[in-house]
Amino acid sequence: MRFVAAIDQGTTSSRCILFDQSGRVAAVDQREITQHYPRAGWVEHSPTEIWESVEAVVAGALSRVDGEVVALGITNQRETTVVWDAATGEPLHNALVWQDTRTEGLIRELAADGGLDRFRDRCGLPLATYFAGPKMRWLLDHLDLRERAAAGEVRFGTVDSWLLWKLTGRHITDVTNASRTMLMNLTTLDWDPLLLDALGVPRAALPEIVPSSAVYGPVTGLPGLAGVPVAAALGDQQAALFGQTCFEPGEGKNTYGTGSFLLLNTGTTPVHSWQGLLTTVACQLDGQPATYALEGSIAITGALVQWLRDNLELISSADEIEPLAASVPDTGGAYIVPAFSGLYAPHWRLDARGVIAGLTRFVTKAHLARAALEATAWQTREVADAMVSDAGVAFTELRVDGGMTANSLMMQIQSDILGVPVVRPTVPETTALGAAYAAGLAVGFWSSLDELRANWKADARWTPALAADARETRYAQWRKAVSKTLNWVD
């Protein structure tokens, strides 16, 4: 048997999955990673723990099969920023996670001259704490690294760069991850001098930008895969788009994880958004033009279920939320807007904080559980509406993946609130599958995009059962609840 391996390094865990020729999972291993919260709004990971978890899951997955691994692909949590010593390879600080908000002051400072959209025409992104460039600037300033970085003695990168360095010894990043830094020009696909100057990040510390699907070199830093070509790297949401075989303009998907991420393929020309969406690189195959996507990034969806479990203790495990929410027909008029670290797409409001609105004594924990599920669906509706406005393409169905798709009630709610069918594929591991597909294409394990498309099969389908007038009435209430989150932080 021959397999392609995918390392899926996410926000809460690392996984290694082996896929066979049909795109089916042959083996999987997973390890959780520690979340560090040194202050309110600060979120960190240990780069050393990330690497050790990758070593462990690769060994675990390989122990479950007997066969040859022909290529390795990487997919990763995006925007999370690592800094390490160029000579020793030792991390110089914990990684700053994409959810981290410590750069709020810098964002306000940069936005004072030109607003939050100051650089959008170059990088496709608004000024926000979300992205890697401001995190690099914070590390430069607070670790006193500027002189060393300018001399090339320090390496900056997102998690893909850290893993590629450990695996191959090369300091590289792919176009999808580079497009999430606020430092890459969307047109040239190279670091932009104006952006580097504005954010104060030395080019000498940054990785080389490479295609998403190409042979980067053999594995040298992982005994179980020694000599296997590392042949792909994609940010997790772009990998899921690729794994869902959304190769044509107008095709899109939503991934439900810690946050949720709705992406729409817009082809080889970037579509700049003025509705609060992100313009990002979807993928670049070796020797071909890049394809682009519009993205709506929602910070808190699955994490809201974790909050109900861990902070409020309304449930003892995440899978309890479905029967609890199903025990009531609606939310009893309650709405939860989980703006724990501000609102992301399509609002981009750093000053927002979470609210529970519409509370009465009638509301029970079952109503709050259902409101938590609806919060994910309403946030997705806001992003979908913005996407249609920007791209002029209406969704006819939504392909979905991620952990929350196991919740049938959640998927039905999503279909009701969007008013279109929601479809889950037979292989739910689409993020890892996308990285595997990109790596397999680079080494000829799969011959074409058409071969990959033929692998995609539907597992479940949900269709709208909510009347349009009821949907719009409740959407108006949701938007009213969102308005209550604003201007909370001065």
Terminal alpha carbon distance of the chain: 59
Q: Is 155 annotated as a binding residue?
A: no
Of 278, 268, 232, residue with least CA distance to 431: 232
291 belongs to an annotated ligand binding site: no
Annotated binding residue 13: yes
What count of Cα atoms within 13 Å lies in the side-chain half-sphere of residue 308?
29
CA distances to 418, 432, 439, 449 from 243, rounded to whole Å, are 23, 8, 12, 11
Asked if residues 440 and 4 have their Cβ atoms less than 8 Å apart, the reply is yes
- Determine whether the annotation assigns residue 469 to a binding site: no
The answer to whether 12 is annotated as binding is yes
For residues 253 and 262, the answer to whether their CB atoms sit within 8 Å is: yes
CA distances from 115 to 110, 130, 199, 264 (A): 8, 16, 15, 26
C-alpha span between 152 and 187 (Å, rounded): 26
Please give the single-letter amino acid code of residue 420: V
Inter-CA distances, 245 with 234, 294, 396, 399, Å: 14, 16, 16, 10
Q: How far apart are CA 205 and CA 154, in angstroms?
A: 6
Tokens of 38: 């040194």
**78 annotated ligand binder:** yes
Q: What three-state secondary structure class fits 362?
A: coil
Residues facing 44 on adjacent strands: 36, 96
If we measure between CA atoms, which residue out of 164, 161, 212, 169 comes closest to residue 442? 212
Q: Is 236 annotated as a binding residue?
A: yes
User: Is 360 assigned to a binding site?
Assistant: no
Cβ–Cβ under 8 Å, residues 425 and 221: no
Binding residues for ATP: 11-13, 258, 302, 306, 403
Binding residues: 11-13, 15, 78-79, 130, 236-237, 258, 302, 306, 403, 407
Binding residues for ADP: 11, 15, 258, 302, 403, 407
Binding residues for glycerol: 78-79, 130, 236-237
Binding residues for sn-glycerol 3-phosphate: 11, 78-79, 130, 236
